[in-house]
Amino acid sequence: MIGLLAFAVRHDPFALLLIFGHVAAICLLIVIARSSSTIAVFLHHWYLLVYVPFCYKQVPYLVSALNLRSADLTLAHWDAAMWKVDPVFWLSSMQNRFGVEFLQAIYTMFLPGSIALGIVLWLRRSREEFRYGTFAIAATFLVSYLGYLMMPARGPRFMDYASQSLPLQGLWTFHFFQNALDTLEGAQYDCFPSGHVAVVLVGCWVARRISARVFYAFSAFAACITFSTVYLRYHYVIDVIAGMMLAIVVMAGAPLVYRKLEPGNGPSDLPPVS
């Protein structure tokens, strides 16, 4: 992210301020890591709650500063080429008001649900397990942000032809939740890969280390999130496929990377450093 901001400095000096923000965050983390106080230990484990959103909010800025072209038409074309129809609007044309309402509520719970998993991991497992689990989830978030910059896209519901399809209708809170998310996120370019799908799948992988009950509960949540991304027109199907592939890469690579970054400090069942 800092490297991309360095390129953006040539177009907008504001990028330099963001670079200083990253450097300051790293320095603060080093200071916190050297302290053994209860507050410092807590901040050391939970600082990602602030740092990950800080990186996420820089995506639209970088898209603008680096003059990146929208990939929406490309992603929509890939969907049509694979399915011979627009799968997003074909699926949501069979809408049910209760289904729309329910799935929008679940989709809105993506971040609270991910944080809740972290809290359960914090309470039920060791600190080593917690660091490993949050490392895997944070890595998934951050790598997905790089994908957003490689293929910046806003999503099917923002396409011009979306107005030609029947708009989604819920029961009571659908529009409230949708507008609240749009306000919080702003004009984001966060489609490819689907970070929602990648994170909840990695979350299932983490949840299995807690208990079978937590794993099955989070898996049901992950299934609803995955379906809602397309049904609610937030993502193209190709985004979901890419999100699944990203999750597989993270689950395969996280143990080895973590062992190299923190040799001897991870969970005992991780593979050794080769």
pLDDT bucket at 177, cuts 50 / 70 / 90: very high
Work out the average pLDDT over 72-97: 92
Work out the average pLDDT over 86-95: 88
**pLDDT score recorded for residue 274:** 46
**pLDDT score recorded for residue 271:** 56
* Integer angstrom CA distances of residue 149 from 24, 33, 83: 23, 31, 26
What are φ and ψ of residue 167, in 5° steps? -65, 150
**pLDDT score recorded for residue 1:** 75
Residue 1 lies in a domain: no
CA distance 244 to 242: 5
Residue 171 lies in a domain: yes
CB atoms within 10 A of CB 23: 11
Question: Which of residues 261 and 238 earns the better pLDDT score?
Answer: 238
Residue 99 lies in a domain: yes
* Integer angstrom CA distances of residue 75 from 71, 129, 229: 6, 37, 15
The number of domains in the chain is 1
The whole model's pTM is what? 0.93
pLDDT bucket at 151, cuts 50 / 70 / 90: very high
In the chain, % of residues over pLDDT 70: 96
Work out the average pLDDT over 194-213: 96
Residue 273 lies in a domain: no
Residue 226 lies in a domain: yes
Residue 271 lies in a domain: no
If we measure between CA atoms, which residue out of 19, 28, 25, 14 comes closest to residue 1? 19
Domain that includes residue 222, residue range: 69-261
**pLDDT score recorded for residue 3:** 83
**pLDDT score recorded for residue 269:** 65
Q: What is the DSSP letter of 58?
A: T
What pLDDT digit, counting tens, does each position of 204-255 carry?
999 999 999 999 999 999 999 999 999 999 999 999 999 999 999 999 999 9
What tokens does 207 get?
Answer: 């949840």
If we measure between CA atoms, which residue out of 129, 124, 117 comes closest to residue 201? 117
Residue 227 lies in a domain: yes
What tokens does 204 get?
Answer: 């299932």
* pLDDT at 272 > cutoff 70: no
Residue 136 lies in a domain: yes
What pLDDT digit, counting tens, does each position of 22-59 carry?
999 999 988 998 888 989 989 989 999 999 999 999 99
* Integer angstrom CA distances of residue 252 from 201, 205, 224, 247, 248: 13, 11, 24, 9, 6
